[in-house]
Structure 1
Amino acid sequence: MRRTVWMLVLAAGVWAGCGATRVEPEAAKGVVPELLTEHRALRAEKAMKQVGEDCTENGASACLSGVCLHVKPGREEGYVCSRACRGEQECPPDWRCAQVYPTPEGGLCVPLLSFHE
C-alpha cells in the first residue's frame, strides 16, 4: 500500500512538471531592468561647508558638522549640511529643529522650504 502511494505521488510530480512552462529571465531576453541605486557621495579631502550649503557631491565629509541631510525626493539632488540642535534658536532662519532620534541630543536643523519647493 505504501509503495502504491509513493508511486502515485511520484507520477503526479512528473506529470505536473511536464506541463510547466519555463519563464526566461529578463536579462536572457536582452532586456536589462532599470536598477535603483543609492546616491553615493565622494569623500571630501577637508570639511569646509556650513549649515545650509550643498553637500550632494561629498556628503557628510564636506560638512563641518559631519551631518548631510537628504531633503528632496530626487536621488541626486537635495543634500544640505545640517547640525545637531536642541531648539529653533540654534538653526538658521527658515529652518527648524526637528527631533530625529529619541534622545535629548536627537535634534537636527531641517530646512522648512525643502518639501514645498
Structure 2
Amino acid sequence: MNKKEREFKEKVKNYIKKREAEERFPSLQGLLLELDLSEAEIIELAESKEIKRELNMLKLCREDWLLNKLLCEGKNASGIGHILKLEEEGVIIKEPKSRGKVLHIITHGLGEGAEL
C-alpha cells in the first residue's frame, strides 16, 4: 500500500467515525464533499485495488447502518428497505453520464425590456 492509499484509508475511517458520532448516514456523496473530490476523481482513484477496497468498506458501513435502522428502530421500514434494494446505492462507480445534446436559449434580441 502506497502513501496515497494509506492516507485515503485513514480519511475514510475518519469520515465514518465522524458520521457515527453525528448519527448520520455515511454516504459516498458525503465522503466526496468531505474530501473535496469530484465523481470523476473518485472514479480515477478507484482504479487502485486498495482504494476500491476502502470504498467497498464504506458501502458495508452504509448497509450496516441501514439494517440497524430497519431492524432496531423500525422507522421508515419501506423507505430503508427500498434503499437496500437499489442496485446503484453504494460503491458501484460508473463513468458520469454524458449530458448529450444541450439546448442553448439565446435571449439577445427579444425586445426592449424583455426578461426571462
Q: Same fold (TM over 0.5)?
A: no
Does 1 or 2 have the higher relative contact order (CA < 8 Å, sep 6+)?
2
Q: TM-score, normalised by structure 2?
A: 0.26
Kindly indicate which of the two structures has a greater share of residues assigned to strand: 1
Which has the higher Rg, Structure 1 or Structure 2? 1
| Bigger proportion of residues as helix | 2
- With normalisation by structure 1, the TM-score equals 0.26
